[in-house]
Structures are given as structure tokens and as C-alpha cells.
Amino acid sequence: MLVAGRIVETEAYTRTDPASHSFTGPNARNAVMFGPPGRLYVYLSYGIHCCANVVTGADGDGQAVLLRAIVPTVGLDTIRSRRRGRSDRDLANGPGKLCEALGIGLDDDGVDVCDRRSPIRVVDDGVGPPCDPIIGTRVGITRGVDLPWRFRSDRP
DNA sequence: AAAGAGATGGTCT
DNA sequence: GACCATCTCTTTT
């Protein structure tokens, strides 16, 4: 079943950023982050939730953008059943919820989101990025807390 | 209605 | 032992 949503909140993570998984160098978990751009980096958080990032740096850079929230646009029935019991505004307004809503799991670590054949893709829906994004500090981290690398649209 | 506390487990230092 | 997101329950406004 096809599901989709518009990305409305992201956070940036770089190699020199103490809050980034890539900060301490390549390892088994973050290997995809150090690979070529356009791939999905999925990791397990709290041993329970998955979080999805898109690699944005050049091959070897260790740079990615965490997908923090989407507004569901396609396959609402499927998303509601995956997120049973939650209100519509709680369907995908967090990195773990987003993965559950879209059905993203550790199996999807490393998929090319620019490849037409991939099960998960990032596409242009015709709505450009907001000209007035809300820019602020990132959440859910304890290091690098002052970097204003969180970007959110309040006009989804 | 809003804010806080506690539980949950895999990956790394 | 630190780090991370979410849900449920409780407390305070």
C-alpha cells in the first residue's frame, strides 16, 4: 500500500557536530552516513523506535538530515491503522512516529531514495520549501544544543 | 488544558 | 553508564 507525506520538519547533522552519530567516526551502525548521498540512514532509538535520515554530504562526509515530521498526504487509511488510536495530528509529528507511519524499519537502512525502484523515495510534490521556515535549536539531544539546525514549516 | 514523571532496550564510550 | 522517542499516567494550572 502506497503511503506518502510532505516533509515539514528536519534537523541537520554533520561530521563535526557532537550530537551527530558520525561525530566519532564510522562504525557498523552509521556506515550508511559515510556512504554516498541520497541514501536512507535508519537507526534504532531507545531500542524501540526507528529514526530516518537522508544522507546529504558527499561520499565519506558523514553528513545527513534527520526527518523529524511529515504531514501525511497519501494512504491515510493505512497510516491511521499503523498508528491506531492516535489523533490525526499525532500520526507522524516525530521521528519515531514518522517511521511507523511510513513503515520504515531497519531493513530500509541504506536504500537509495532517488532510485525509482526503491521502496522508499524522496520526491518533489510541487510544493517548494517554505520561504519562512521556523529555524531553531534541535531537540532530543544533549550535545551541540546551540546549533540552529532545526527547520520547520508551519505552513504545510 | 498543560506540564511533569516514569518506563522501555539496543548501541556506543 | 550515557544516550535517544514515545506512550501512559499523574499532577497542577
Checking if the pLDDT of A122 tops 90, the result is: yes
Range of the domain at A99: 4-113+129-152
Checking if the pLDDT of A155 tops 60, the result is: no
Quote the number of domains for chain A: 1
Instruction: Answer yes or no: is A20 within a domain.
Output: yes
Chain-centroid distance of CA A30 in Å reads 14
Instruction: Answer yes or no: is A123 within a domain.
Output: no
CATH code of residue A20: 3.10.300.10
DSSP A4-27: EEEEEEEEEE-TT-TTSTTTT---
Model confidence, pTM: 0.93
Query: What is the CA A87 to C1' C10 distance in angstroms?
Result: 21
CA distances from A145 to A16, A20, A21, A141 (A): 13, 11, 14, 7
Instruction: Answer yes or no: is A122 within a domain.
Output: no
Mean pLDDT of chain A: 93
Check whether residue A140 has its CB closer than 7 Å to nucleic acid strand C: yes
Higher-scoring residue by pLDDT: A39, A84 = A39
| C strand bases under 7 Å from protein CB | 2-8
pLDDT digits (tens, 9 = 90+) for A71-92: 999 999 999 999 988 999 999 9
Mean pLDDT score, A91-112: 96
Instruction: Answer yes or no: is A23 within a domain.
Output: yes
